[in-house]
Amino acid sequence: MTVLVTGANGFVGSTLCSKIARDGMQTRGAVRLFSTGQRNTETIDVGEVSSKTNWFSALENVQQVVHCAARVHMVNERSSTPLAAFRSVNVEGTANLARQAAATGVRRFVFLSSVKVNGEFTETGHPFTADDVPAPEDPYGVSKLEAEQLLRQIAAETGMEVVIIRPPLVYGPGVKANFESMMRWLARGVPLPLAAVTENRRSLVALDNLVDLIVTCLNHPAAANQTFLVSDGEDLSTAQLLKRMGAALGRPARLFYLPPTLLKLGASVLNRPGIYQRLYGSLQLDIAKTRQLLGWTPTMSVDDGLRRAAESFRL
């Protein structure tokens, strides 16, 4: 059995390829720019992902596809037409791959979506569920929702099974962006004015847990044509996350109290209201459906996941 993994040299894709190979399945990695590939993984350069990408050579003798490649959410968006840019890759590129996959006899198509399809924030104690009405708020989330809708349509027309997974923030060895910045602040002992942020709750997912669920979804009969949320199963406040990440790094978090109103004012003055919401707001995922339908449970605890991330971190 051969599994095609797109974005195979990315943060999720590279770990997924290794896991699939360890489990005894043949992997083929599709990448945008040629790389040396990984042990036990054949690598094919498919170029840019778009409505014109030719996937047929990559899909030869493939029974399952995991589509990780995407134009990802960016805090500092540079495109003057971000929704069009996201749609080109995440919607049109995904639909093009799915149609070619169905035409070549692929049995199951696993799509790595995002919890941003559900929305940006939740009330504490009221998590998103997989079957909630979608409510994306930014171009990235809109593009992921539109891709999901097209995939379901293609599945209905062709009989190819589609599985959709919506993760929250993914962390682990080699993590970048805001999570890496957080680790850098903690490792350097930077005092952070977040001691008061103890009432919010945020779901995260360790890379190993996400990859384990993806592999489960490749073959589990009950996964066919379903949508799943995924997390570590333990939600943390911002202060808890900082303290436990600091412990994993061996550098206790230096948190001090600052009234939330002052932090909110500072974010407003800097024209970065999203920063305040990400630090003080909640984003919780209910993974009961994932547990019950698949019999799946996170294989790694939050603390073990944080330690794994810390082990690979370098200042």
Active site members: 140
> Which is nearest to 211 in space by CA: 22, 49, 1?
22
**Kind and range of the H or E run holding 171:** strand 169-171
Give the helix/strand (H/E) hosting 18.
Answer: helix 11-22
DSSP secondary structure code for residue 302 in this structure: H
Which helix (H) or strand (E) segment is 217 a member of? helix 207-219
Tell me the three state secondary structure of residue 83: helix
Q: Could you give the C-alpha distances from 247 to 64, 186, 242, in angstroms and in order?
A: 40, 10, 9
End-to-end CA distance of the chain: 41
Determine if residue 305 is left, alpha or beta; phi over 0 gives left, psi from -120 to 50 gives alpha, anything else beta.
alpha
**Ordered strands of the 26-31 beta sheet:** 41-45, 26-31, 2-6, 64-67, 108-112, 161-166, 227-229
- Positive or negative, the Cα torsion across 105, 106, 108, 114? negative
Task: Name the DSSP letter for residue 116.
Answer: G
The angle that helices 302-311 and 207-219 make with each other, rounded to 10 degrees, is 110
